[in-house]
Amino acid sequence: MIRRILLGYDGSESSDHAYRFAAELARRYEAELHVLAVARPPDLGDEVETEALIEHSRRHYEQMLAKLRRRLSHDVVTAHTSLAVGHPAEQLVRYAEQHGIDHIVVGHRGHTLFERWLIGSVARQVIAHAPCAVTVVRR
């Protein structure tokens, strides 16, 4: 039985596909849908700029989540939206552990070679470490 679904959302086209899949899943199972956006600091950061980037990302994601909440009120019975700071895969896994998530849904999009080398694909990392089932939605 799926009671709580977690969606990793960054506003991209691929995460939008993942949203539609997760909303459908939540309706069918009458499950709660938790949406987590993650503001990501630079992988190799420095003074002032890192804080500026975190602030900028937070503002961006808060606006994005505000828009998403209007969609959620139409599409899903029970929904929660949250904003975290850090590496997306790590924060998704952490959130899933803390909130007893049964199923994680993430989109899949291309990464630069450097990003993959540095921390790996978000989807791959979530699959590797998630405490529950994971669906990666491809376009």
Partner 1 sequence: VTEIWTQAALWLGLALLATLLSIWLRVATALSEIVVGTIAQLVIGAALGGALLAGDASWLKFLAGAGAIVLTFLAGAELDPVVFKRQWKQAGAVGLVSFAAPFFGCAAVARYGLGWSVDASWLAGIAMSTTSVAVVYAVMLEFGLNRTDYGKTVLAACFVTDLATVVALGFLFAPFSARTLVFLGVGAAVFFVLPWLTPRFFRRFGGRPSELEAKFLMLCLFGMGALASWADSEAVLPAYLIGMVLAGTVGKDHELVRRLRTLTFGLLTPFYFIRAGSLVSVPALVAAPAAMLVLLAAKMATKVVGVYPVTRRYGAPRQEAGYTTLLMSTGLTFGTISALFGLSHGVIDQGQYSALVAAVVGSAVVPTLIANAFFLPRHLLGGAVPSAGEANALPAEVGAVARRVP
Contact residues for partner 1, defined by CB under 8 A: 39, 41-52, 54-55, 58, 62, 65-66, 69, 80-87, 89-91, 93-95, 97-98, 112, 114-115, 118-119, 125, 129
Q: Measure the CA–CA gap between 91 and 14, rounded to whole angstroms.
A: 19
| Minimum CB distance to partner 1 smaller for 28 or for 42 | 42
Coil, helix or strand for 42? coil
* Of residues 79, 98, 85, the one with CA closest to residue 7: 79
| Minimum CB distance to partner 1 smaller for 1 or for 102 | 102
Distances (CA, A) of 105 to 7, 41, 70, 114: 5, 22, 20, 24
Q: Provide the minimum distance between the beta carbon of 4 and partner 1 in the complex, in angstroms, as a whole number.
A: 15
| Minimum CB distance to partner 1 smaller for 1 or for 98 | 98
